[in-house]
Amino acid sequence: MAVSKFTPVYKETHSLSSQFSSLTETSVFNSRICFSHPLPRPHNAARVFCSVSQNELQAPVAAQQNDTPKIKHECFGVFCVTYDLVAEEETKSWKKLINVAVSGAAGMISNHLLFKLASGEVFGPDQPIALKLLGSERSFEALEGVAMELEDSLYPLLREVSIGIDPYDVFKGVEWALLIGAKPRGPGMERAALLDVNGQIFAEQGKALNAVASRNVKVLVVGNPCNTNALICMKNAPNIPPKNFHALTRLDENRAKCQLALKAGVFYDKVSNVTIWGNHSTTQVPDFLNAKIGGVPAKEVIQDNHWLENEFTQKVQTRGGALIKKWGRSSAASTAVSIVDAIRSLVTPTPKGDWFSTGVYTTGNPYGIAEDIVFSMPCRSEGDGDYELVEDVIFDDYLRARIKKSEDELLAEKKCVAHLTGEGNAYCDLPGDTMLPGEM
């Protein structure tokens, strides 16, 4: 068997060697993987390299007739793989390719998430996808390994994988940006310091999205503190609708559903209308007042108000810490699952009467929550990537008091990052250290 090395090159013909793929001489496809190299490069050299230019893909030798090379201008299959298909044989049920960027792509959360994206589990079994993976110089070789694993998995919907360390390269034309990468909180680090360090990352990524992404890109911020990071990213991307920015609170919602199901002695699919209000911190408010179990208000099924107000709320808020204590690591797999759930809630219609939680921009909200912050609230979607806030919710004094506490925290965080949102000098006076254990 003849083995060919994958050799990406500069346009100036400077070459870099990599062994991403091996193909037999009679193989019916050519692979294409692009990446941005972190090493010093010639002035004005192209940032992205490809083994095969998309405009120069040739049909395999076995498929050529009369020894005349056949130029292919479209890609079908794994990593822009080119099959020798005639027009009437092309799969007509597949949709237009979507471009999805993932930051922190060499991390543990992404290690679970990327394969779900590539398999069709997220956007559907007929949706081709291109993955744009953002990492750092330190993680670049790990990104190459991620690309190799994706290649070896032979996902038919995965048409292209590109890797890089410059968000202005990686975010070009993306329709979805999943911003997972963030610095963890080190020993002795104050939350204000973490807000500043990670805020700078998300300010830069917001500027890059504003410059090169699709004008209707949907942005899901996972890196913590995710609510305020989402606000920073949004403020640095004025050409993208504020409504398109989300902070991930779906894992908190999933945890709340789990606890209610366990207490009621039912399977989790009987639990609906669960809202996480507020910040992704220990001030978050898992809402049992509006929750339903088997279509019945949760408070009528679980007639234990002390458990609901104390144990239930505390278990949801501290679940991540409990998991770390047991396993010695943060919840990467369940976080990846919750990212899948969050996206699917936007690309599939919300079941009638139900809703889902996501951290979104509060301006214009119907609940009286302070404007100009990112706050987790109940939403519904028609499945078009957009959402509407739910208006048919009820409040009592307990719920409003808890919501106010989370609102105050987010307003304080906003002051801490004013220098990153273009709103003046930062002033940090946080009401307390409410960071979730997983952020450390």
Which of the residues are catalytic? 280
Q: Rounding to the nearest 10 degrees, give the CA dihedral for residues 343, 344, 347, 353.
A: -120
Greatest C-alpha distance within the chain: 81
Which runs of consecutive H residues, i.e. helices, occur in 5-139?
A: 108-119
Element of type H or E holding 376:
strand 374-380
Q: Which of 319, 340, 358, 275 is nearest to 438 (CA)?
A: 319
Alpha-carbon distance 240 to 172, whole Å?
14
Give 271's strand partners: 293
Please give the full DSSP string across 212-264, using - where no structure is assigned: HS-TT-EEEE-SSSHHHHHHHHHHT-TTS-GGGEEE--HHHHHHHHHHHHHHH
State CA 416 to chain mean position distance: 25
Phi/psi at 86 (nearest 5 deg)?
-85, 160
* In contact, 120 and 91? CB cutoff 8 Å: no
- What does DSSP assign to residue 49? E
List the end-to-end C-alpha distance of the chain, in Å, as a whole number.
50
One-letter amino acid for residue 162 of the chain: S
In sequence order, the 6+-apart residues with CB closer than 8 A to the CB of 284 are 249, 252, 276, 277, 278, 316, 317, 376, 406
Only one residue has tokens 């032979």, namely 154
Alpha-carbon distance 324 to 331, whole Å?
7
